[in-house]
Structure 1
Amino acid sequence: MANQTTQNVVVMRHGDRIDNFEPLWTEKADRPWDPPLILDGKVRAFCTGKKLSNNLGFPIHRVFVSPFLRCLQTASEVIHALCAVGDCSNVMSSADGVDIDPSKLKASVEYGLCEMLNKRAIRAENAPKDGNFAFNISECEAVLPQGIVDSSVERVYKEMPKWEESSEAARNRYQSIIKTLADKYPNENLLLVTHGEGVGVSVIAHAAEHLTVYEVEYCAYSKLQRTIKENKSDTTEEFKLTGHTGVLTMPTSPTADEMVKEPPPASS
């Protein structure tokens, strides 16, 4: 019999974004599709990172993050909490000063974790007119803590999905990218920092029962686990949902409605 180990994947939504609290922000923004976090969002992300560090029961080895600024800033705060050196029980965000050990984990930007690129998630007036979201990987990586980025990682998606992708295509993308990243690093536990739709898909696709997701809160997350068999001739088990926090679900019958409910504009 082949030796077995377990692999864990945490799929997390970003924190509180500024345009949902300051509606006029987009009118003056150079990149209205790419809002940053508000301070409360950074605090929520850091505190969620502390919660993960204390309660998961397993270490995070590798972080993958959407290129959108709100996700990069969320990942930065979570990484500070996960890699903190010494007691940070009274620290509320990285701005309070946190020493980290960058050898604890590595991080990479992954286009496949990006926002659902259609008008359901991004208001048409805020989307780039030419469909080019103009992400620069080096600039994205600079948002993450120094020494954390693994520059040797080859991205699954070499470029952004095309605007305007369908909701179904986006959901398929989220489900696929979770498995693809996990398969690339089967001996590591992963944290994927993405958008509300991605977290919802991770719950629905891996739950033991049929669920509908009605709401995904800021910094909500799901926990997935599977058994990895060292003998590659054996079949690795599928991921199973082992828990979620901040995701409002309801059991449903297995119908065509078994999916994440459409989010309101600019809510992801």
Structure 2
Amino acid sequence: MESSSGIMKQSLFVMRHGERMDNHDPQWAESAPRPWDPPLTDEGKLQAWRTGQKLRREGGNITRVFCSPFLRCVQTAAEVVTALCVTDDHANAPSSKDVVIDPSKVKVSIEIGLCEVMNPIAIRTPRIPPSPPNIITILDHSELEVILPAGTVDHSVEPIWTELPTWPETTEGAHNRYSNTFQELADKFPQENVLCVTHGEGVGVSVSALKEDTHVYAVDYCAYSHAQRTIFSCSTDGLDAGKFEVLTESGQSGIMYNLYASRFQRL
């Protein structure tokens, strides 16, 4: 957090996961027991590690991370959190393997509100049956938390969403969910800089919801937006804060957008 005369600046970063296995290997989903929940490829893990290093180098001072419960996002968060927590001696390591971290630097929690859009357009598998409605499941949180760096998981944080959205979810409904979840997570920790690891659609919303008449037309793997707001006061009496302003320019970090359309194109 930046501070000047008692007024603070809070940063909110929203990031897409790294390369997913089914995009790298189209045959993967045909035999996978959970075709809607692909892991990262090795390249995807490296993408996430390098992005975490970049965020650290750029001085974002991220201390709070939230991630979608889908496997690719948890694996992405694990790499990024490791990069943010790494000791100075390992800051330039080529990968997260065998690095030493200080887990007190960043705390991470799983947030269902950051999950993939729950409809067959976003979850691309022909093997999903039409019923029952709860056809998509996620791994148990205890299984996902094992993936995250030891000592970084914060179990004290109350989740905003406790269950997956009802299937099928409309794109508009998902956009509202993403926007509200970003805001609520930032409001929970107004004195910390927050990173949300989510899906391409969510990253697009993090720009389009804050910039009027903005059309996001591409979000690369591990692309991220950066928004910032002024915190005037924060106490038991409440939070007095300005609105978030997007600082990320089109193409700057893998998000491409223009200001000539109001309709967000699904990624």
Same fold (TM over 0.5): yes
Which AA in structure 1 matches 2:168?
E
1:1-268 map, 5 Å: 3-55=6-58, 57-88=59-90, 90-95=92-97, 97-127=98-128, 130=132, 131-207=135-211, 209-230=212-233, 235-243=240-248, 245-253=253-261, 258-263=262-267
Indicate how the Cα distance of structure 1 residues 126 and 184 shifts in structure 2: closer, same or farther if over 3 A, else same. Answer: farther
5+ long unaligned stretches in structure 1: 264-268
Greater shift, 133-142 or 18-27, is seen at 133-142
SS, match of residue 73 in structure 1? helix
Q: By how many angstroms is 1:123 displaced?
A: 2.0
Q: By how many angstroms is 1:120 displaced?
A: 1.7
SS, match of residue 230 in structure 2? strand
Preserved CA contact (<8 Å) 1:120 1:262: no
SS, match of residue 125 in structure 1? coil
Aligned mates of 1:161, 1:233 — CA distance in 2: 29
SS, match of residue 8 in structure 1? strand
Aligned mates of 1:126, 1:203 — CA distance in 2: 33
Preserved CA contact (<8 Å) 2:63 2:107: yes
Aligned mates of 1:234, 1:74 — CA distance in 2: 31
Aligned mates of 2:94, 2:206 — CA distance in 1: 28
Which AA in structure 2 matches 1:87?
D
Aligned mates of 2:26, 2:187 — CA distance in 1: 40
Aligned mates of 1:127, 1:259 — CA distance in 2: 29
Q: CA RMSD in A?
A: 1.8
5+ long unaligned stretches in structure 2: none
Indicate how the Cα distance of structure 1 residues 252 and 132 shifts in structure 2: closer, same or farther if over 3 A, else same. Answer: same
